[in-house]
Amino acid sequence: MNLRNIIKPYPSPIITGRGIDLDFPMLAGCLALLGLGLVMITSASSEVAAVQSGNTLYMMIRHLVYLVIGLGACIVTMMIPIATWQRLGWLMLIGAFGLLIMVILPGIGREVNGSMRWIGFGAFNVQPSEIAKVFVVIYLAGYLVRRQKEVRESWMGFFKPFIVLLPMAGLLLMEPDFGATVVMMGAAAAMLFLGGVGLFRFTLMVLLAVAAVTILVQAQPYRMARLITFTDPWSDQFGSGYQLTQALIAFGRGEWLGVGLGNSVQKQFYLPEAHTDFVFSVLAEELGVVGSLCTVALFVFVCVRGMYIGLWAEKAKQYFAAYVAYGLSFLWIGQFLINIGVNVGLLPTKGLTLPFLSYGGSSLVICCACLGLLLRIEWESRTHLGSEEMEFSESDFAEEPSHGR
């Protein structure tokens, strides 16, 4: 496959006769979250960074490097036609399986806190589960387009995707990464429902999923301990409930307006993972209820905008693009709900980052790449230029098409 056919200089939402032609509300919302994330990582990681490296800005600098890489990934994905992603769906699926197998192999995967979730490349770690979730969405979107009638009308069309999804879920559980498994399967279920799966089959799938989650929780003692602890973390506040109680203390200290940016006490080695999984707790302590609600509002706006991008693509009869937009939005929604739920004590503790905000290179880069995909989908659906067979020139972008978005 020729590289020129994968990344074409024209058409592209960042190179047109009108200049940059993007969905600016979506871009602004995500950039606001990225900026807020950089500020909170700088604040939440300062004490840990000072002890580990002697430089209070060490984590911030690394996060900034990942942010630059992520914005580069966003630009690259915006330049790739959606039809190309559709053609490469099978290769991406194979790549996802390859990465998830590699990460559990001794000598390749890196173990951190008892989990084999990372592949090391020098000073940087790559988390294959973040890549695999996106690749699964792209593959499943292609399947829903190819087998739309079969999915809607037959049991076989409904069960076929699980021949792929269940082995991938098994590989994720071997790391183990229960949170990523739940998010991936949840996004897949939502895509199947929006793809036209009947209500009876969808209900059966939900019941089977609930039963599977129940069995998986009971199969591992540490999962049962987390489930029991989160219902009453104060019963063992210096043991299994320590992390959650410290997070709740951070929320309590923040009150309405917070203690002020940089003035968190909980980040000073009281709250573990303060700059990764529990960065929202530090945000609540420093910015208060008002800052927390504004952050939640930003997330809601970005996720709802992503769903609308899928709706616009569907109205333009670009069904593959629509399913990809829905799937990516549900990945964000799933991670957002689980992370916030864990921070406020509504869900058992899970190792899931908060999209755009948490410290973590793989998560940040993949979120930015997903943003690029959504911006490309919106542009193609709005300009009706989403066909790979069409050839374009500068004259195709001479006039602004009318739209009401």
Q: Which residue in 173, 38, 200 sits closest to 104, CA to CA? A: 173
- Between 404 and 120, the higher pLDDT residue: 120
* pLDDT attached to residue 400: 43
- Check whether 156 has a pLDDT greater than 70: yes
What is the 8-class DSSP label of residue 404? -
* pLDDT attached to residue 7: 47
Determine what percent of the chain is predicted with pLDDT higher than 90: 44
* CA neighbours closer than 13 Å in the CB half-sphere of residue 7: 9
Residue 53's pLDDT band (boundaries 50, 70, 90)?
Answer: confident
Give pLDDT tens digits for 87-139. Answer: 998 999 999 999 999 988 887 888 776 678 888 776 677 889 999 999 999 99
- Check whether 387 has a pLDDT greater than 50: no
Task: Share the mean pLDDT of the chain.
Answer: 85
What is the distance, to the nearest Å, from the Cα of residue 352 to the centroid of all Cα atoms in its chain?
9
Contact 85, 76 (CB under 8 A): no
* pLDDT attached to residue 399: 45
Contact 297, 32 (CB under 8 A): no
Residue 405's pLDDT band (boundaries 50, 70, 90)?
Answer: low
Extract the tokens encoding 281. 């707790």
Lowest mean pLDDT among 1-10, 225-234, 368-377, 389-398: 389-398
* pLDDT attached to residue 390: 45
Lowest mean pLDDT among 221-230, 304-313, 358-367: 221-230
* pLDDT attached to residue 403: 46
The H helix count followed by the E strand count for the chain is 16, 3
Does the CA dihedral 178-181-186-187 come out positive or negative? positive
Strand-strand pairing, 124-126 and 109-112: unpaired
Give pLDDT tens digits for 295-310. Answer: 999 999 999 999 999 9
- Between 318 and 112, the higher pLDDT residue: 318
393: helix, strand or coil:
coil
The domain spans of the chain are 20-385
Q: What is the pTM of this model?
A: 0.88
Extract the tokens encoding 319. 């069904």
* pLDDT attached to residue 69: 94
What is the distance, to the nearest Å, from the Cα of residue 375 to the centroid of all Cα atoms in its chain?
16
Residue 204's pLDDT band (boundaries 50, 70, 90)?
Answer: confident
* pLDDT attached to residue 374: 96
Give pLDDT tens digits for 235-276. Answer: 777 777 788 889 999 999 999 999 999 889 998 888 888 888
Extract the tokens encoding 257. 């307006």
Residue 48's pLDDT band (boundaries 50, 70, 90)?
Answer: confident
* pLDDT attached to residue 27: 95
Extract the tokens encoding 386. 């989403």
Contact 123, 359 (CB under 8 A): no
* pLDDT attached to residue 393: 47
Lowest mean pLDDT among 34-43, 114-123, 149-158, 218-227: 218-227
Residue 371's pLDDT band (boundaries 50, 70, 90)?
Answer: very high
What is the distance, to the nearest Å, from the Cα of residue 366 to the centroid of all Cα atoms in its chain?
7
Question: What one-character-per-residue DSSP string does 274-287 give?
Answer: TTTTTHHHHHHHHH
Cβ-based neighbours of 85, under 8 Å, separated by 6 or more: 92, 138, 324, 373
Mean pLDDT of 347-364: 85
Extract the tokens encoding 374. 């959504």
Rounded CA-CA distance 283/277 in Å is 12
- Check whether 164 has a pLDDT greater than 80: yes
* pLDDT attached to residue 368: 96
Residue 70's pLDDT band (boundaries 50, 70, 90)?
Answer: very high
* CA neighbours closer than 13 Å in the CB half-sphere of residue 89: 19
* pLDDT attached to residue 124: 73
